[in-house]
Amino acid sequence: MILTNINYILNIIVLLFLIGVLGLVLNRKNILITIMSIELMLLAVNLNFIVFSIYLDDIVGHIFVLFILTIAATESAIGLAILTVYYKLKNTIQMDKIKIIKS
């Protein structure tokens, strides 16, 4: 097995995660991008788990990854469902227009 330097992979993970975060923060228009960013962050976390699971030679990381995958799938399903319901009500999914919790 080719031993890749773990720092290289960890850098990629952090980069992925940061891209997800920046996608959350900087995106002001499209709510789908928000959901995609969340998925990206979850993926980065998963990758992190896997890398450390292999690095530490421990199965628990893999189990967690499986759980997180499931949770991510359900979460994106519920999120998209909320979106469709919301779209039915407001006829828009533009982020600028979603401003209802302001007192």
Partner 1 sequence: MYLTLILLPFISSITAGFFGRFIGPHGAAVLTVSCLLITVILSFFIFYEVAIIGCPVYIKLMPWIDSEMFNVDWGFQFDSLTAIMCCVVTFVSSLVHLYSTEYMSHDPHLPRFMSYLSLFTFFMLILVTADNFIQMFVGWEGVGLCSYLLINFWFTRIQANKAAIKAMVLNRIGDFGLVLGILIIFVTYKSVDYATVFAITPLFVGEKFIFLNVEFDLITIIGFLLFIGAVGKSAQLGLHTWLPDAMEGPTPVSALIHAATMVTAGVFLIARSSPLYEYTPVMLKVITVAGACTAFFAATVGLLQNDLKKVIAYSTCSQLGYMVFACGLSNYPVGVFHLVNHAFFKALLFLGAGSIIHAVADEQDMRKMGGLKKLVPFTYSMMVIGSLALIGFPFLTGFYSKDVILEVAYGKYTTEGHFSYLLGSLGAFLTAFYSTRLLYLTFLSNPNGYKSVICKAYDSSYQICIALAILSIPSMFIGYYSKDMIIGLGTDFWGNALYILPENMNRIDAEFIDHTFKILPVILSLSGATLSFILYTFGVKLLFQFKTSFIGKKIYNFLNKKWFFDKIYNEFVGQFFFKFGYNTSYKIVDRGIFEIFGPLGLSTAVSKKSKLVSNLQTGYMYHYTFSILLMSTLLLGIRQFWMFFNTSIDYRIFIIFFITSLFLVSNKK
**Piece of the chain touching partner 1 by CB under 8 A; list 22-30, 48-56, 66-74, 83-91:** 22-30
Taking the complex as a whole, the smallest distance from the CB of residue 47 to partner 1 amounts, in Å, to 20
Residues comprising the chain, all counted: 103
CA distance 43 to 34: 14
Q: Which is nearer to partner 1, 54 or 93 (CB)?
A: 93
Residue 74 contacts residue 96 (beta carbons within 8 Å):
no
Cα separation values, 82 from 24, 33, 35, 51, 78, Å: 18, 15, 12, 33, 6
Q: How far apart are the first and last CA of the chain?
A: 58
Per CB under 8 A, contacts with partner 1 among 38-97 are 95-96
Using the rule CB under 8 A, is 19 a contact of partner 1?
A: no
Closest separation in Å from C-beta 25 to partner 1: 5
Residues that bind partner 1 (CB under 8 A): 21, 24-28, 34, 95-96, 98-103
